[in-house]
Structure 1
Amino acid sequence: MSRSSRNAPRIRLLTIALSLALPGLANAQETETEAKKGTSVLDVITVTAERREESVQDVPISITTVADEKLDVIASGGADIRFLSARLPSLNIESSYGRAFPRFYIRGLGNTDFDLNASQPVSLIYDEVVQESPLLKGFPVFDLDRIEMLRGPQGTLFGRNTPAGVIKFESVKPSQETSGYARISYGSYGTGTFEGAIGGALSPNWSARISGLYQHRDDWVDNTFTGEKNALEGYNESAVRAQFLYDPGANFDALFNVHARRMDGSARLFRANIIKPGTNDFVDDFERDQIAIDGHNFSELKTHGASARLHWDFGSLSLFSVTGYESADSLNRGDIDGGFGAVFAPPSGPGLIPFPSETADGLPEHSQWSQEFRLASNDWGRFDWQSGLYLYREKITIDSFSYNTLAGSVEDGYARQKQDNKAWALFVSGDYDLTDQWILKGGLRYTRDEKDFEATRYLSPFGADPIGPLTANPSASDVSGDVSINYAASEQVNLYARAAKGFRAPSIQGRLVFGDTISVAGSEKVFSYEAGVKADLFDRRARLGFSVFSYTVKDQQLTAVGGAANFNQLVNADKSIGRGFELDLEAYLTDRLLVTVGGSYNKTEIKDPNLYIAPCGGGCTVLDPPGPGEGLVSINGNALPQAPRWIGNVTARYSVPMGDGEFFIFTDWAYRSKVNFFLYESTEFTGKPLLEGGLRIGYLWQDGRYEAALYGRNITDRKAIVGGIDFNNLTGFINEPRIIGAEFTARY
């Protein structure tokens, strides 16, 4: 019997114990305690996880939300969307592109692929519009009402490419009431941020809200090869959102959204041979603010989009229409070998540079259109339902370049990919009150996905002939869905169980600059089971969410990134499994002390005895057994890449009345255990456990209208290797440095 099999009975027993104990605890509270006047209580959290506004405690899904002050605090210091990593249970986020291309992992399921055509099993929904391209997923976080993280397959209401889960962003919407804010901050490395919003009535029927963000950081990393001081790691980021709400107060309303983003700065800094051979430690002479590279480095990204959300109320029925358009334009160039010269072209370093590598990827053409029509019942009594039609089309063009650094960085390789992706779906979902305590929910979705792909190589850095166009036309149909049962053990405690199936459409890779073939991964399917409890405790002074889960991925899409061949290749593993638990706890320990605790355990395993890949080509210590072919290893039994087994986070806010305001201290900490950077296991390319913390000290006055604060992010200045490049040498990239600054906010 495997270790994971032995753990399963313990998880089930823990679920049963909580199910039996919590109702009694809640009932005891009803008889023994009553809310006292002036006592701090938790607000009711409203979510739209099931496309209706509901209390988070009533939704039979493992959900974590982030809003209000906590969101503002952990996003401070010029942070991009990766600030959410490990701040929510079962969530990891990393990037080999820096700010431009975040990769999300929920319950260990994600995709390490760095190609601009990569698909991810975690879907991002921004104001009800899916952000399919990886370059759209990093839109800056500002003027948000809340973030919702839905764990597990969401194949009914959100569709394909959601087998791991969904992260939903909801902007603050316009209203007739005039409101807004302005926030300015300045910190280490010239890190400056300004963001603000203003909104209110334009007429009795129209209201608007305009919000924007600007972020800047100075270059602060010296290039010791060129001798240039403060040469890299700076950025300029700006984004704007304009919303217009038409609400005549009758049976129709419409919300229009226009948004754009622009970012330019350094691409990810790959640092040659920063890992000590035979360990996963930094080399002894590593300096965070120095690098020695002879190639070019920059990152440019522009995105824009618009949406229209229409709603008709016909009394017993409501009709919703969501139309979305998104577009991205980018070019990202980096010195991939992370050093200068080569062993055959001295001087070279740091350490061994077998050959130079300088590449760029661009997205010169991109468009995404989506349309959803959804019909929903309005308070039909014990039975409510919704059904709809979803249409999607995305067209992309990707350019890949290689440059000869030793010859003045002249272009010596060029390939182009084109893809036209069409998809449509029909879905239906409903819930039925079996009794006043038992609610049965379920839904089904039929999806059809088709891709037309071609790739052409025009110039090879190795002198090979042009090739292509090579084509692929994968298609797939699938029925996904979910069923759940919710039991209201008391007014304070809900127990639930859920089974769900998710689906990810086929994926294609065609990076022909360094290879002669394209690869296609067939669709993957996820079967997930979870059970949980949600409870309001101590007269709403505390809130608990706890879930246990188990899933199996059949034909999982994996990406063999880099390796000795320096080529991305898609493969389907026979299956992978995962199991674990998640905890969310929020409580007022006193009227002045609010604490949140989150945690998760994720045990993942690839199960395919016939799957072999090429490991590193840069001198790492491979721990997997050799395969049948030369230069191959078996990854059967390995954990999924970038899937930490443990995640934990805690925040604490303590306040003291002072004058006509409030003095407060807010601290937050996030931990993730070790991770494999790649599909294979090696000593050097194993990321160490990472613990980062933040601190904020401030003063609020005039009922919270004004706030002045000092803040610190990564306050211990923890230095960690968070990813690697494995085809050339022991190259890695690192986490963000400590940022200390001051911030002022005015709300009105």
Structure 2
Amino acid sequence: MTIRTTAAHLFGASTIAFAAFAAQPAMAQTADQAGTEAAADGQLNTIIVTANRREENLQDVPVSAATLDASTVRTIFDAGAEITALSARVPGLFIESSNGRAAPRFYIRGLGNTDFDLAASQPVSVVMDDVVMENVTLKSFPIFDVERIEVLRGPQGTLFGRNTPAGIVKIDTVKPGDEFAVNGSLSYGTFNTVSIDGGVTVPLVPGLASLRVSGLWQQRDNWVDNGFTGEKDVYGGYSEIAGRAQLLVTPSDRLSILGSYAVRDLDGQSTLFRANILGPGNNDLNDNYDRDTVFYDAGGRNEAAYKAQIATAKVDYDADFATLTSITSWADTEGRSRGDIDGGNLVTGPDFIPFPSDTQDSIDLNQFTQEVRLASNSNGPFEWQVGGFYFDSDFDVTTVGFDFPPPVTVNHTNESWAVFGQVSSQVTDALKLTGGLRYTEDDKDFVVVAGAAPQFTTVSDERLSWDLAAFYDLSGDASIYARVASGFRAPTIQGRDVAFGSAPSVATSEKIMSYEAGLKSELADRRIRLNGAVYYYTIKDPQFTAVGGADNLVQLVNADKGRGYGFELDSAFQATPNFLVTAGVSWNHTEIEDNTLAVGICAQCTIVDPTVVLSGSTRALVDGNPFPNAPEWIADLTARYAFPIGNAGEIFFFTDWAYQGKTNFFLYESEEFNSNNQIEGGLRAGYAKADGTFELAAFVRNITDADNVKGGIDFNNNTAFVNDPRVFGVSARINY
């Protein structure tokens, strides 16, 4: 396989246009970006996905999926945002974090994990360049030089493994090619916010070796005052640098070797918690809230610092009948974050604070993965792939309380292996069937290293995951599909409470069975795309984390059952060659089914659930409650209109809006700890050259300066945290 062949293959994948949902069109369409045919006649562009570990047209895949292209991602990150800014940018996807830029939490179709600990597991997997980012700190690795982001909704347990019962966020970066290329963006905005993202491809030896080097720099000045100490502009800033070098070598037409090394260095701050800003008796922000001010007496300026490095080697060998792929990866991350968790001080509050809370968590992690798969090369009616996967991680987590608790270090290890296979058969010209199996073994060990009484806990499980899908072409423009899939999240150990004198908690595997049916269509001569899906899933032994409560616990629990159902709709409308509108919406209902599960409650909030007293503590019965952080509605709208200026370029206007409906933050329901009807939008306006090589624009993010509550800290008082403020700025983009 020559570099020329590889580059064509990769550039073909990058000719994704704009997701059926939330996809901003490129500033000006070029042949490489969007396809000359689509640009000429005003049709929507083809979206390429790799949901089946092969490059396929989104319209031909029996999976509910959506994509974000490079231009969209850069727009979302214009104001220096990080990965949580992707929340609600496709139907069904929600992301939040109480750990600043370091440890995001993902939810798809309402299924996720609210655990803030650095050892927390999640049912949504993040896969970057074919490597699973298992730990929460790896999931926060900066996104830059992106080719596309795919969101695969529903269980993906056959090809991608355990801990994917909710779905996958799959990130693919730009790869080396056969020609010299430079692309990137630079933006500057309010609070001295800077975001630079770019890459350059340099062919070293034509037809044999090519190098791509890319990087990211984001920074913001401090802009939040400390009202307790009287200090000005001491919080809210960050500086983050990341880089990636990729070397592609193609010794022959059959063999390609891609080596990659990526690094990250974050110097920032953890989330700014704000004491007693909710209610009481409702979820409104009260007079204690001031976006520009906090009232801290501790927290060490909420400093957060993380470093990471990821090395990967991918080898592809094309035999006559199949392609053998090996992906070997090693990742290392270490860092710490400290915070004034109660969000205030004992002197002035604001309002009641029963005791101070100042803690720091740190992690030192190593992860190794190895995947080998063999996939058929035939373009005939029968396709197959088989493979094996090995995963090993080892990390220490240290918790320090600067008044209480004393330093405690615990160690987590996880070893897992799996074998998998998938077959697809074109039964008739209209009907295609796909089925897959995966067998997984997963083992975890936990041990107290220092600072507490010796404890050792181990869990293990072995499971068979499977899926079966049917895809039927109704016509050349419309298809329907049905999919049944199983998956599981491996057993989990939570040891954070060891630092507070309690034993670690354990949750057994959660097992999901999902049913999905969908429609995929392109209408009006490919000027309208309408894709939709309805789904229903049940979970046996769902894993939840009882976070906070008056006792400040972090405990894993298994509910008896859970279920969810809803729909997703992705659409795009090319009204004219110069006017594109995209829209998406999802509705999701989730429900805990366990009439005995009782969890700790907040110290001051107004509880809605029935309560019981167990061992002297009041607890809430959560049967019938929605899953935590499961928005009922998510919606998005984008629109782009351009005025051509001769043959040289265009003046364009682009706006994007995201909506998040009712969302309960915790397992229990209260009047305070929930959000509803949150809207956030952005605007870009500027000039773009017709060939797509240059763009200059002004932008604003969070255009209405909306104050949206993104989560809460419930053990002590009605503390919460909010979204980023409005940012005005200018940006420039190049693509040569």
Equivalent residue number for residue 508 of structure 1: 493
Equivalent residue number for residue 219 of structure 2: 216
Equivalent residue number for residue 320 of structure 2: 315
- The 1:551/1:412 distance shift into structure 2, 3 A limit, reads closer
1:468 has 2:473 as partner: no
Any gaps of 5 or more consecutive residues in structure 1? 1-34, 342-346, 405-410, 459-466
Within 2, Cα distance between the matches of 1:95 and 1:515?
Answer: 26
* Residue 196 of structure 1: how far off its partner (Å): 1.6
Selected match of 1:440 from 404, 410, 433: 433
**Identity percentage over the alignment?**
48
Within 1, Cα distance between the matches of 2:221 and 2:658?
Answer: 26
Selected match of 2:77 from 75, 78, 93: 75
* Residue 702 of structure 1: how far off its partner (Å): 5.6
Conserved in 1, the CA contact under 8 Å of 2:43 and 2:526? yes
What are the Cα deviations for residues 51-92 of structure 1, in whole angstroms up to 9, with x where unaligned? Answer: 111111111000001104222212211010111101110011
Conserved in 1, the CA contact under 8 Å of 2:74 and 2:185? no
Selected match of 1:59 from 58, 61, 64: 61
* Residue 249 of structure 1: how far off its partner (Å): 4.5
Equivalent residue number for residue 744 of structure 1: 732
What are the Cα deviations for residues 117-157 of structure 1, in whole angstroms up to 9, with x where unaligned? Answer: 10000000000000000001111121111000000000100
1:537 has 2:532 as partner: no
What are the Cα deviations for residues 274-329 of structure 1, in whole angstroms up to 9, with x where unaligned? Answer: 11211111112521000110112111111111111111111111111011111110
Conserved in 2, the CA contact under 8 Å of 1:688 and 1:721? no
Alignment of 1:347-496 (within 5 A): 347-363=347-363, 365-379=364-378, 381-404=380-403, 413-455=406-448, 458=451, 467-496=452-481
* Residue 412 of structure 1: how far off its partner (Å): 5.1
Letter matched to residue 303 of structure 1: A
Equivalent residue number for residue 685 of structure 2: 697
SS in 2 for 1:135: helix
Within 2, Cα distance between the matches of 1:36 and 1:261?
Answer: 38
Letter matched to residue 514 of structure 1: F
* Residue 490 of structure 1: how far off its partner (Å): 1.4
Equivalent residue number for residue 716 of structure 2: 728
Within 1, Cα distance between the matches of 2:529 and 2:438?
Answer: 33
SS in 2 for 1:647: strand
Letter matched to residue 653 of structure 1: R
Equivalent residue number for residue 338 of structure 1: 343
Letter matched to residue 231 of structure 1: V
Equivalent residue number for residue 647 of structure 1: 634
SS in 2 for 1:469: coil
* Residue 266 of structure 1: how far off its partner (Å): 1.5
* Residue 456 of structure 1: how far off its partner (Å): 5.2
Conserved in 2, the CA contact under 8 Å of 1:653 and 1:667? yes
In the TM superposition, structure 1's runs of 4+ consecutive aligned residues that sit over 6 Å from their partners are none
1:571 has 2:557 as partner: yes
Within 1, Cα distance between the matches of 2:149 and 2:366?
Answer: 25
Within 2, Cα distance between the matches of 1:451 and 1:285?
Answer: 44
* Residue 658 of structure 1: how far off its partner (Å): 1.5
SS in 2 for 1:136: helix
Conserved in 2, the CA contact under 8 Å of 1:514 and 1:566? no
SS in 1 for 2:400: strand
Any gaps of 5 or more consecutive residues in structure 2? 1-36
Within 2, Cα distance between the matches of 1:67 and 1:248?
Answer: 31
Equivalent residue number for residue 52 of structure 2: 50
1:159 has 2:161 as partner: yes
Conserved in 1, the CA contact under 8 Å of 2:323 and 2:376? yes
Select between 677-686 and 69-78 the one with higher mean Cα deviation.
69-78
SS in 2 for 1:184: strand
1:289 has 2:292 as partner: yes
Alignment of 1:601-620 (within 5 A): 601-617=587-603, 619-620=604-605
- The 1:72/1:380 distance shift into structure 2, 3 A limit, reads closer
* Residue 694 of structure 1: how far off its partner (Å): 0.4
SS in 1 for 2:71: helix
Within 1, Cα distance between the matches of 2:621 and 2:288?
Answer: 35
* Residue 380 of structure 1: how far off its partner (Å): 6.1
- The 1:36/1:676 distance shift into structure 2, 3 A limit, reads closer
SS in 1 for 2:85: helix
* Residue 445 of structure 1: how far off its partner (Å): 0.2
SS in 2 for 1:513: helix
Within 1, Cα distance between the matches of 2:89 and 2:474?
Answer: 30
Equivalent residue number for residue 100 of structure 2: 98
Letter matched to residue 496 of structure 1: Y
RMSD: 1.3
Conserved in 2, the CA contact under 8 Å of 1:563 and 1:616? yes
SS in 1 for 2:342: coil
Letter matched to residue 253 of structure 1: S
Within 2, Cα distance between the matches of 1:95 and 1:434?
Answer: 46
Equivalent residue number for residue 497 of structure 1: 482
Conserved in 2, the CA contact under 8 Å of 1:456 and 1:468? no
Equivalent residue number for residue 674 of structure 2: 686
* Residue 628 of structure 1: how far off its partner (Å): 5.2
